[in-house]
């Protein structure tokens, strides 16, 4: 799938399991323009506040959550931070949502 090399790249950089790439399928069905009723957007369904915490620009002019590269790095950094906090992938998945 066209986004998997991007996912693998960032997961490798942050030394996370490659299986985490499948989370994007669950979150967005691999639609980089996906938006939820709750305000999440992009491949990784990041909320605006979370996206901004990880350095993404989200405002009236630009929404970097829709950028496959920028949003993937932000999501992977979030997953790495959650794992550092919880040390349990099941808890990470719950916390991600």
Known active-site residue 27:
yes
Work out the number of other CB atoms within 10 angstroms of the CB of residue 82: 18
Q: Is the dihedral of CA 40, 68, 16, 58 positive or negative?
A: negative
First to last CA, the chain: 24
Tokens 């997953």 sit on residue = 79
Helix, strand, coil % (nearest 5) of the chain? 60, 5, 35
The mean predicted confidence, pLDDT, of the chain is 97
- Tens of pLDDT, residue by residue over 29-70, are 999 999 999 999 999 999 999 999 999 999 999 999 999 999
Asked if residue 18 has pLDDT above 90, the reply is yes
What's the confidence (pLDDT) of residue 1? 85
The whole-model pTM stands at 0.95
Q: Is the pLDDT of residue 97 over 90?
A: no
Question: What distance in Å separates the CA atoms of residue 42 and residue 72, rounded to the nearest whole number?
Answer: 9
Catalytic residue (choose from 19, 27, 64, 85): 27
Residue pair 69/6 in contact by the 8 Å Cβ criterion: yes
Q: What is the mean pLDDT of residues 7-18?
A: 98
Per DSSP, the three-state class of 46 is strand
């Amino acid at each position: 799938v066209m986004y998997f090399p991007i996912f693998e790249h960032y997961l490798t950089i942050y030394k996370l399991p490659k299986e985490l790439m499948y989370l994007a399928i669950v979150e967005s069905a691999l639609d980089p323009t996906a938006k939820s009723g709750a305000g999440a957007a992009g491949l990784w369904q990041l909320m605006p506040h979370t996206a901004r915490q990880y350095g993404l620009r989200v405002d009236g002019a630009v929404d970097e959550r829709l950028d496959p590269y920028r949003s993937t790095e932000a999501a992977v950094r979030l997953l790495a931070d959650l794992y550092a906090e919880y040390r349990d992938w099941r808890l990470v998945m719950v916390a991600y949502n």
